[in-house]
Amino acid sequence: MITKQKGTYDIYGEEAKKRLYVNDIIKGICEKYNYTYIETPVFEATELFHRGVGETSDVVKKETYDFVDRGERSITLRPEGTAGVVRWFIENKLYGNMTEPVKVYYNEKMYRYERPQSGRNREFTQFGVELIGSDDVMADVDVISLAYQTYTLLGLDTKIKINTLGDNESRLKYKDALIKYLEPHMDELCEDCKERISKNPLRVLDCKIDGEKDIIKGAPITLDYLNEDSLNRYNKLKDYLDLLEIPYEEDPRLVRGLDYYNHTVFEIYTDIEGVNFALGGGGRYNGLIKELDGPEMPAVGFAMGYDRTMIAIDAAGVNIPYKKDIDVYVMYVSDSEKETASYIVQNLRLNGFTTETDYLNKGLKGEFKSADRFNAKFLIILNDKDLESNEVNVKDNVTKEEEKVNINDLIDYLDMHD
């Protein structure tokens, strides 16, 4: 038997309905915020994701799905959405004639070559937005607001952790200070953190082992190394969030490891028991577009893990409304009844009723069982004798009342009793 690949999954049944519902929420909110939908390729040139200094071989090795195609090209399945969008932006030279910022959202499958565990699969879906072309705090707020409101509409109470990395100058100053602070304490850190100091020092701050140690708690924080402009910016961000009544929590140890991030970073958490991971996160990445051979161009974005959000929704006991009952089940026995049934079924469907019938010639008893399984609101039971006078039996499956109705009045009758 052929089984599914590690870290992949099939989505069907109720789970699929829930996801369609979440999609609708996302679509609705993105329309209101005026982000337009974008799809980019699942696979891209490997360099798009493994780029620049410090991210190859001896330093951070990203856990991506890489392969060489028949043309000897090095290909990578996208591990996140931002890089593809930025590539699209640059490749199409959208910066050439920008009268407004570019605002897009995506909602697509991503791939990471990781060992599956709670809330983490190899194939997963991310919803995200990117706002390219504004360096104003208003843009950061726009993205955070959209993120927060999405969760709220989904029925999740979330809190947003925010921090700022400052501009490049502030950021570099901070990084140096952090390394200088940590190095003398090397012995007190876990093995992983000893390595992190040289590879990715900011990550030491959210180490699971050392995170609670006093050394880390006493480590310098980004706020102390901001220049004036960066600090003003951060304060302005908080003012806006207050104004919009978006609850947030400052977390001076919240960092993002990559060099192109600056200023605003945020992550979204919930207090729901058993959900101890971030549902989503984002930040400003003014350095990325230049890094990918585009112009100097500010941008800010957000992405949420679909699967994690679904876990949170289930854990929170959020009741997702989706249609699981049908409106009408049409029953027949004889061949002539069956033909009429087929006509009635199509007619009902075209008039807006979710309608089912028997495809297996089960007979009345089996059809009643099916109708119950589908939780049909109405049963239409055909018999040849009534059909002679163009009538059918309509049974209200809740009240159990049954009435003979003329076929031509069927739609009106159901509309009235629905």
Residues near RNA, by CB under 7 A: 1, 3-9, 49, 60, 62-64, 79-80, 82, 112, 114-120, 192, 195-196, 199-200, 203, 206-209, 256-258, 281, 332-334, 337, 362-366, 368-369, 371-373, 379, 381-384, 393, 395, 397, 400, 402
Q: Identify the three-state secondary structure at position 171.
A: helix
CB of 367 to RNA, least distance (A): 8
CB of 396 to RNA, least distance (A): 9
CB of 245 to RNA, least distance (A): 27
Query: E strands, 69-210, where?
Result: 74-77, 102-111, 123-132, 159-164
Q: Which is nearer to RNA, 316 or 333 (CB)?
A: 333
Strands 74-77 and 65-68: antiparallel
Q: Which is nearer to RNA, 101 or 281 (CB)?
A: 281
Q: Identify the three-state secondary structure at position 381.
A: strand
Element spanning 228, H or E: helix 228-243
Q: Which is nearer to RNA, 232 or 342 (CB)?
A: 342
CB of 145 to RNA, least distance (A): 20
CB of 202 to RNA, least distance (A): 9
Q: Which is nearer to RNA, 155 or 257 (CB)?
A: 257
Residue type at 248 in one-letter notation: Y
Closest CA to 282 of 305, 265, 307: 265
Beta bridge partners of 328: 355, 378
| Contacts for 243 with CB less than 8 Å, ≥ 6 apart | none
Q: Which is nearer to RNA, 246 or 376 (CB)?
A: 376
Beta bridge partners of 356: 329
CB of 300 to RNA, least distance (A): 13
Tokens 């400003």: give the residue.
284
CB of 354 to RNA, least distance (A): 17
Q: Which is nearer to RNA, 154 or 381 (CB)?
A: 381
CB of 329 to RNA, least distance (A): 9
CB of 99 to RNA, least distance (A): 28
Q: Which is nearer to RNA, 50 or 233 (CB)?
A: 50
Closest CA to 283 of 312, 257, 310, 247: 257
Distance CA 411, CA 91 (A): 54
Tokens 């040849």: give the residue.
384
Residue type at 334 in one-letter notation: S
Q: Which is nearer to RNA, 323 or 365 (CB)?
A: 365
Q: Identify the three-state secondary structure at position 339.
A: helix
Contacts of residues 167-173 at CB distance under 8 Å and 24 or more positions apart, as own/partner, are 167/227, 167/229, 167/230, 167/262, 167/263, 168/262, 168/287, 169/227, 170/222, 170/225, 170/226, 170/227, 170/230, 171/222, 171/225, 171/262, 173/225
CB of 289 to RNA, least distance (A): 14
Give 4: exposed, middle or buried? Use CB within 10 Å, 0-12, 13-18, 19+. Answer: exposed
Q: What is the CA radius of gyration of the chain?
A: 28
Distance CA 148, CA 228 (A): 28
Q: Which is nearer to RNA, 114 or 169 (CB)?
A: 114
Q: Which is nearer to RNA, 135 or 206 (CB)?
A: 206
